[in-house]
Each structure stands twice: as structure tokens, then as C-alpha cells.
Amino acid sequence: MSLNRALMGAVMWCGRNIFVIAVFCFACGKQKSEPTAVAPKTYFTHGDPAKLVEGATMDTKSFLTAANSTTYDNYLLAGIVTFYEKSEVGTATSSETGQEASTGATTAAAKWSFSSITPDYLYKPESVVEDQDFALKFTNSGSELSLASICVGATYSDCTAITVLHYSKRTDGRGISFLASYVDAEKGKALVGIIFSKPSSSASATVDTKYKYLAGPGIVTKWKETLGVQICGSPGAERAAEYTKGVNSWLTSGKLSSTMSVNLTSTTVITPFTDLVSHCITTIDNFLIEDQDSSSVMGITLVTLDLGTAEILGGQILMMRTSLEKIVATQPADIQTSVRSDIFLLTATHEFGHLIGLDHEFSKKSDGTQLYQSIMSYDTETNLGSPIPQSHDKESVVAAYGPI
Ligand SMILES: [Zn+2]
């Protein structure tokens, strides 16, 4: 406990730095009576955001052709996230800062379809709704459609050339994604992930609203297939052990292990965060992401949801080593090793909670203290003392996944 006291003291003493364990959920909180439009998210980074996907194995070959493009007609925009090199001076960003997931726009989601603008193709919403006032322009080589630019304006004639880094498609075709880089005139180098999903007509299941899921309180958000999660790249034996411990801590209770199907393995291959087939826990080195000027992101989980059923279609965890080491560096030398271990374990455990569908748990008692002890809270002092899923966290998972 003295270790935790020291750590909290140091973090608070630093004062202006807020450390955020972030989730970016593609389509969080959007499961209503009909799918609603998602709001774009923005993060700021120190340096070229392409470092976020450094070392990743990319697939630059498009799966789209003029002939198969109609397969993806009437898909919904499930999410768009952009990492910019530079922040806008004096402007707060839209990403989370310790509050409940934003409810965002409530406009009905538009359906996107391909149209031919010989010789090219446009993928655009059927009607322009809030935050969906752009189109994707594909060039047609004859053998494939390649994403070439993002276009805005009434006739989508104002286009910014982009470089596609990675195409991804779920094997069942229910989700497709594009990862691209470009240079924004004001905000510098940019990395953008854009994900679309096939609409589903069924609604999400609901349970007691005291359980907080990414789709909203009481709105069951879960994997329906076995979650094959991998520790990707070479984070080092100590970090890999902490990630393993963090994942397994959700599976140790008998009920949890029988209701959730998780298969944890390791691979040296890293896939980028937009990939919809693999689900990596990737350690990002020498790089900082900011929510706002005063915060650093310790970890991010990127989750893609079906906008109707809240089924999880894709997910990736990024562990931000530089941010975590910044915290470790505030500690006396003799406890840094154990602080490092605690903070990586805490972050991995928390992020895996997001990956399986849990939102933050910020419910408060009337005196302002945490209503439920939860690894999904920002109650760092408690969580460092016991960096494992608490009983409310486990109940939330069981309410979503079982009992079977
Ligand atoms: Zn979080």
C-alpha cells in the first residue's frame, strides 16, 4: 500500500497531468431503436501518427472490385478515428476525459453505397447526415477498386489524396475497414481509420442498467464468437506476463470461464488497429497520444460494434509504453520495477474489460465516492491495490455472456 500511496502522491503532485485509460469504441452508445450516426473521434499525437502502426504487417491489396462493390452497398459507418500530429490551439477534443461515453449525435445512420463516376467509384452516404458529409473515392484499375481520396463538398469534388496502408474485411463480410495516412494542411500528418458494418435488423439484448456496456447502460455488448486475442509483437517477457495475467484475471471465476470463450496466444506478427480479423494487444513504443494537452493516454481499446445488435465485430488494444513509463519515472528508483509491473497489469486488465464490451464504471454515491469498486473506474488508488476485475465487473460480464 505504501507503494501505491507514493505513486498516487507523485501523480497528484505532478498535478497537470491526467493519465487516461482510454477506450475508443466504434459506435459506442449508438444502439437505440434504430442505428444512429457515429461521431468522428480525434486524438493528438507527439510526432508522426504512423508510428502507431510501425512494424505492423499491412495488407495493401484491396478486396474491392467493380463487380463485388455492390456487396457493400447499404453498409453503415461504424466509426472513424483520426490521429493528428498537431493539436488545434485552444480547442478541446471530443475524446473521453473520464466521463461517461458520449451519447453523440442522434441522427439516424445513413446507408453508404458505391456509385460509378466513370472511371472511378464513390462510396458515399445516401443522404448527408451530421458527421457523414464526406465520400471515399476509389480508382478503378479494372482488377480492383483502390481507395485514393477523401472528398467533401456538395458534389464531392474537393478531394484530399490519401495513402491506404491497410485494407481489412471480416471473413463473413459484416465489417470492412480502411487505414490511411495523409497530410492535413493545418494539423499535419494524419492517420485515419474508417470502419463500415453491415446493418442488422435485430435489436440488442438488455439487462439491468447498473451494468455499463460500450453500447450503453444495460445494453448487452459482447462477442458472439470465440475471442481469439493475441499478444502481438515483442513486448518483452515481463510485459507479456502482465498482459496474460490481466486477460486471465477475467476468466478465473468459474462462471466467467464457462460463459466467455477466449483464446489467448502470442505472435510476433502485429496487425494495425483497424484490422477486423486479428485482435492484438500491441505495445506502442516511443510515442505519446493526447486526449487534451494535459493528458496522456495509457492504453486504448478500439472496438467495432454491430450498430443494431451491439455484437462486437472487432477489437484491438494498444498499450502506450511511453505514457506508462512516464508514470514509472516519477517513482523512487527502488520501487520502479514493481510500479511498472502494477501499472502495466492494471492497464491491460482495464483495457481487456473494454475489449469484452464493458464501459467505464463511474457511478457515484451521494457523497461522491465510487458506487461500485471496479477495474473499469478511474479509481487508480483502489485499482492499483487490487488490479483485478471486481465483483461488479464480473457480474457485468456474466449478465452479458451468461449464465449458460
Ligand atoms: Zn477505459
- What is the Å distance from ligand 1's center to 111 Cα? 30
- What is the Å distance from ligand 1's center to 298 Cα? 9
| Residues, beta carbon < 5 Å, ion ligand 1 | 21, 23
Q: What's the angle, vertex CA 301, arms to CA 298 and CA 306, rounded to 5?
A: 160
- What is the Å distance from ligand 1's center to 110 Cα? 28
The whole-number pLDDT of residue 256 equals 76
The whole-number pLDDT of residue 35 equals 61
Indicate the pLDDT class of residue 30, thresholds 50, 70 and 90.
Answer: very low
- What is the Å distance from ligand 1's center to 289 Cα? 14
The pLDDT tens digits of the residues spanning 62-112 come to 999 999 999 999 999 988 888 888 765 544 443 333 333 334 445 678 899
- What is the Å distance from ligand 1's center to 19 Cα? 11
Chain mean position to CA 349: 15
The whole-number pLDDT of residue 317 equals 94
The pLDDT tens digits of the residues spanning 317-345 come to 999 998 899 888 888 999 999 989 999 99
Query: Which of 42-46, 275-279, 340-344 shows the lowest mean pLDDT across its residues?
Result: 42-46
- What is the Å distance from ligand 1's center to 320 Cα? 13
- What is the Å distance from ligand 1's center to 393 Cα? 13
The pLDDT tens digits of the residues spanning 289-320 come to 765 555 678 888 889 989 889 999 999 999 99
Measured in degrees and rounded to the nearest 5, phi and psi for residue 83 equal: -110, 120
- What is the Å distance from ligand 1's center to 164 Cα? 29
**Counting Cβ atoms within 10 Å, is residue 143 exposed (0-12), middle (13-18) or buried (19+)?**
exposed
